[in-house]
Structures are given as C-alpha cells and as structure tokens.
C-alpha cells in the first residue's frame, strides 16, 4: 500500500514539474493533416490533424505535438539546425521505410531553423535493413 502511494505521489510530482517547467518560447504554432500513421521517438501515433509548438522543458528544446481534438499529446526533444536558405513555408519531413513513417524534421516553428528529431531505436533498425528510404513532405500552415 505504501509503495502504491509513493508511486502515485512521485508520478504527480513529475507531472507537476513537467507542466510548470514547460512554456512556449514562441507564439508560433503550426498545424498539419498527416494522412498516415507515424512514429515520433518511441511512440506510434495515428494519422490525423495535429498542431506543433516549440517549447522549453527543463532548459532544453522540445516540440509539443497535439491532436486537434486534444486526445493525444506528446513531447519530443529536438535539436535546432540552421537552414542554408530561407524556408518560408512550414512543413514536416518524414523518413519513410517500407510502410513505416518517422517524423524527422519540422520547418516553420522558428525563423531560419529547422527542428530535427533524433532517430528512434526502431528507425535505426529499419534504416540498417531497409534497401530503400525516401523522404515524405507534408505541408503545414501557421495558426
């Protein structure tokens, strides 16, 4: 009984820390309709309409991904990379292997940078064994 209470208390404290230390650095919010199931980090998400926002979690960049209906929310650490040329239109880039889509880059959350996501273990395995990989681009728009 004490162990369960401890776990509940620690989970509540962790969630409180995440929500109080998470805040939007910029008002930029983009939305995209993703027509296929996809993976971010280690989490599989169904296709649908999602919003994307750059946030800070504990001093590190992350992207908050939320379904438009609010039922799905995920946070994924990102790394900002400077773009060589100016990219005015927001878009999402997915690495596509056979029938799996992995979100890899998000354009449009910050001026002249792209947010890059690290490859998950599942994507690393597929990348080693897949004979063909291509990029799929999904147009997004600012809200």
Residue 120 located in a structural domain: yes
Residue 4 located in a structural domain: no
- What confidence score (pLDDT) does residue 83 get? 79
| 78: helix, strand or coil | coil
Average pLDDT over residues 20-44: 78
Note the pLDDT tens digit of each residue in 47-106: 999 999 999 888 888 999 999 999 999 999 999 888 776 666 899 999 999 889 999 999
Where residue 13 falls among pLDDT bands split at 50, 70, 90?
A: very low
> What are the Cα distances from residue 10, in Å, to 7, 73, 107?
5, 21, 36
- What confidence score (pLDDT) does residue 10 get? 47
d(CA 43, CA 24): 22
Strands 113-116 and 79-82: antiparallel
Residue 40 located in a structural domain: yes
**Which pTM does this prediction carry?**
0.77
Residue 32 located in a structural domain: yes
Number of domains making up the chain? 1
Residue 14 located in a structural domain: no
Q: Could you list the residue range(s) of the whole structural domain that residue 30 is in?
A: 24-142
Residue 11 located in a structural domain: no
Residue 108 burial by Cβ neighbours in a 10 Å radius (0-12, 13-18, 19+): buried
């Amino acid at each position: 009984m004490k162990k369960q209470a401890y776990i509940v208390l620690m989970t509540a404290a962790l969630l409180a820390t995440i929500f109080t230390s998470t805040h939007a650095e910029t008002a930029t919010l983009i939305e995209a309709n993703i027509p296929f199931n996809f993976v971010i980090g280690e989490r599989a998400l169904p296709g649908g309409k999602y919003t994307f926002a750059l946030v800070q979690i504990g001093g590190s960049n992350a992207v908050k991904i939320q379904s438009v209906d609010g039922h799905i929310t995920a946070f994924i650490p990102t790394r900002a990379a400077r773009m060589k040329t100016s990219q005015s239109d927001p878009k999402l880039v997915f690495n596509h292997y056979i029938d799996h889509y992995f979100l890899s880059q998000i354009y449009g959350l910050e001026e002249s940078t792209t947010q890059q996501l690290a490859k998950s273990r599942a994507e690393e395995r597929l990348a080693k064994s897949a004979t063909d990989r291509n990029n799929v681009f999904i147009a997004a728009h600012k809200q």
